[in-house]
Amino acid sequence: MRFSDKVVLVIGGNSGIGRAAAAGFGAEGAHVFLTGRDRRTIDETVAAIPGARGFRADIAEIGSGTDVLAAIEAAHGKLDILFVNAGIGAFAPAAEVTPEQWDHVHNVNLRGCFFAIQQALPLLADGGAIVITGSIGAVAAVPGNVMYAAAKAGLRAVARTLAAELVGRKIRVNMVSPGPTETPIINRTEGVPADAVPGLRSIMTEAVPMKRMGAPEEIARPVLFLASDEASFITGIDLYVDGGCVEL
Ligand SMILES: NC(=O)c1ccc[n+]([C@@H]2O[C@H](COP(=O)([O-])OP(=O)(O)OC[C@H]3O[C@@H](n4cnc5c(N)ncnc54)[C@H](OP(=O)(O)O)[C@@H]3O)[C@@H](O)[C@H]2O)c1
C-alpha cells in the first residue's frame, strides 16, 4: 500500500500502460483520477478501480485538464503524483511528412504533455512526483519514426529541465521509456495500415533481445516505483523498460 491516501492523476489512463498504472495505483491505496478521450474506455477503467474518477480531456487542447484539476482540488486540495502518459504513434518517411502531420503528433506527444504538466503544477504538492512516459524511440534510429522520435526526445528534455526546476520543491521528475509493449497503440498507429500490423509486431518482437513484447503491467510497475517513496533519491532519470533493446 505505497500510495495510501495519495492523490494520483494519470493523463492517458484509460488504455494500455496508463490503464495498468491506474489499476496499480488504485490497488495500493491511491485516490485515482484519470483522463483520456474515449468515454467508453474511461468508464470501463474507472469501474474497475474502486473510488476512481475519469474525465474526458484532449491533451492537444491546452487547458483541457481544467475539469479534472478542479475536481481534484475540490476533493483533496492537492495532487501528489502526476503520471503523464498520453501519446500517439505515427509513421511516415521523412520525405513525406507534412507540417500538419508533424504538428498533430507534437501537439499530443510533446506540446500537450508539457502544458498538461504546467497546468497541474500549482496543485502538485511539494514532495510530490511526476512520471512521464517517453519511448526508446527517442534514442533508436527507426526509419519512418521521425515525428514520434523527435517529440519523445523533446519530452526527455522537458523531463530533465523540470527535474532541475522542481528539485527545490522536492518534486521528483522521472521518465519511463518503454520498448515494444503489447497495447492498443499498435493497432492505431497512424501510417500503419491494419494488414501491416502483424508484420510490424514481428519486426518489433525480433528487435527485442528478450524476443517478446512487454506487457502493460511490466511498464506500469517501474512507473509505480518511480512515483513512490522507494525512489526518494531518484530524479531526472530515463528508465528504459524494454527487454534489453537499448542497452544490449
Ligand atoms: N506500446 C508501446 O510499444 C510503446 C512503446 C514506447 C512508448 N509508448 C508510449 O506509452 C504511452 C502509452 O501508450 P500505450 O502503448 O499504452 O497505447 P494506448 O493503449 O494507445 O494508450 C494511449 C493513451 O494515450 C491517450 N491519448 C492519446 N492521445 C490523446 C489525447 N490527444 N488526449 C488525451 N489522451 C490521449 C489514450 O486515450 P484514448 O484511448 O482515449 O485516445 C490512451 O489512454 C504513450 O505515450 C506511448 O507513446 C508505448
CA-based nearest residue to 56, from 34, 29, 30: 34
10 Å Cβ neighbour count for 59?
26
Q: What is the CATH number of the domain that holds 141?
A: 3.40.50.720
- The residue behind cell 520498448 is 179
- What is the distance between the alpha carbons of residues 246 and 157, in angstroms, rounded to a whole number? 18
- Which residues, including other chains, have CB under 8 Å from residue 117's CB and lie 6 or more apart? 82, 84, 130, 132, 158, 162
Q: How does pLDDT run across 59-107, given as a tens digit for each residue?
A: 999 999 999 999 999 999 999 999 999 999 999 999 999 999 999 999 9
- Look at residue 1 and tell me if it is in a domain: no
Q: What's the rounded Cα separation, in Å, for the pair 101 and 13?
A: 24
Q: How confident is the model at residue 218 (pLDDT cuts 50, 70, 90)?
A: very high
Is the C-beta atom of 108 inside 6 A of ligand 1? yes
Residues 41-50, mean pLDDT to the nearest whole number:
98
38 lines ligand 1 (CB under 6 A): yes
Q: Is residue 184 part of a domain?
A: yes
Rounded Cα distance, 191 and 131, in Å: 28
109 touches 133 (CB < 8 A): no
Per-residue pLDDT band at 241 (split at 50, 70, 90) = very high
- Ligand 1 center from residue 123 Cα (angstroms): 24
pLDDT for res 31: 98
Task: Classify residue 47: in a domain, yes or no.
Answer: yes
**Amino acid 201: pLDDT:** 93
- Does any domain span residue 194? yes
**Mean pLDDT taken over the chain:** 97
d(CA 136, CA 151): 12
pLDDT level of residue 58 (50, 70, 90 thresholds):
very high
The verdict on pTM exceeding 0.85 is: yes
In a domain, 190, yes or no: yes
**Which residue reads 469501474 in cell numbers?**
47
Condensed to tens digits (0 to 9), the pLDDT of residues 189-202 reads 999 999 999 999 99
For residue 188, what pLDDT is reported? 92
> What residues pair up with 181 in beta bridges, in sequence order?
214
- pLDDT by residue (tens digit) across 24-33? 999 999 999 9
Within the chain, residue ranges assigned H as helices are 16-27, 39-47, 66-76, 99-106, 113-120, 146-166, 197-207, 216-227
Q: Tell me, in angstroms, the distance from the centre of ligand 1 to residue 34's CA.
A: 13
Dump pLDDT digits (tens) for 136-170: 999 999 999 999 999 999 999 999 999 999 999 99
* Domain limits for position 172: 7-240
Number of structural domains, the chain?
1
Let me know if residue 214 belongs to a domain: yes
Q: Are 244 and 208 in contact (CB under 8 A)?
A: yes
Q: From ligand 1's centre to the CA of 186, what distance in Å?
A: 10
How far is the centre of ligand 1, averaged over its atoms, from the C-alpha of 11 (Å)?
9
**Ligand 1 pocket check for 135: Cβ under 6 Å:** yes
Report which ligand 1 atom has the smallest distance to the Cα of 152. 47
pLDDT value, residue 214: 98
Q: Which of 87, 206, 220 is nearest to 148 (CA)?
A: 87
Instruction: Give the integer Cα–Cα distance in Å for 231 and 129.
Output: 10
**Ligand 1 in contact with 65 (CB < 6 A)?**
no
Is 19 contained in some domain? yes
Cell of 124: 502538485
Whether 180 is in a domain gets the answer yes
State the cell numbers at 170.
522536492
Q: Which of 9, 88, 190, 202 maximizes ligand 1 atoms within 8 Å of its Cβ, making it the mutation to test the pocket? A: 88
Residue positions annotated with a catalytic role: 148
- Closest ligand 1 atom, CA of 181? 3
Under DSSP, the state recorded for 126 is E
